[in-house]
Structure 1
């Protein structure tokens, strides 16, 4: 999978998860930042390198 596509999917997933959690807690929704998605992607990429 291309890095850009994966990054976009992670970003969308973070946003959806944040919305679901905030709704469950009764808080107003806010979106995850692109920087958070980039950090998550870097973490996943590093973990993949360690396990290959």
Structure 2
């Protein structure tokens, strides 16, 4: 799980740099970040309940 988090995080960080020409890359980054945080939060909650 930590390795997956690192890979996704690096992907999210590199994406805006690669697609700098896109004007909405910041918005996409925030959307992905919000989804990632919600995904991790739900996983932590499930693991905590178990």
Normalising by the residue count of structure 2, what TM-score does the alignment of the two structures yield? 0.50
Output the aligned Cα RMSD.
1.5
User: Runs of 5+ in structure 1 lacking a partner?
Assistant: 28-52
**Richer in helix (by share):** 2
Ranked by relative contact order (alpha carbons within 8 Å, sequence separation 6 or more), the top structure is: 1
Normalising by the residue count of structure 1, what TM-score does the alignment of the two structures yield? 0.49
5 Å-filtered alignment, 1:1-52, equals 1=16, 2-26=25-49
Aligned length: 27
Whole-angstrom distance in 1 between the partners of 2:36 and 2:43: 11
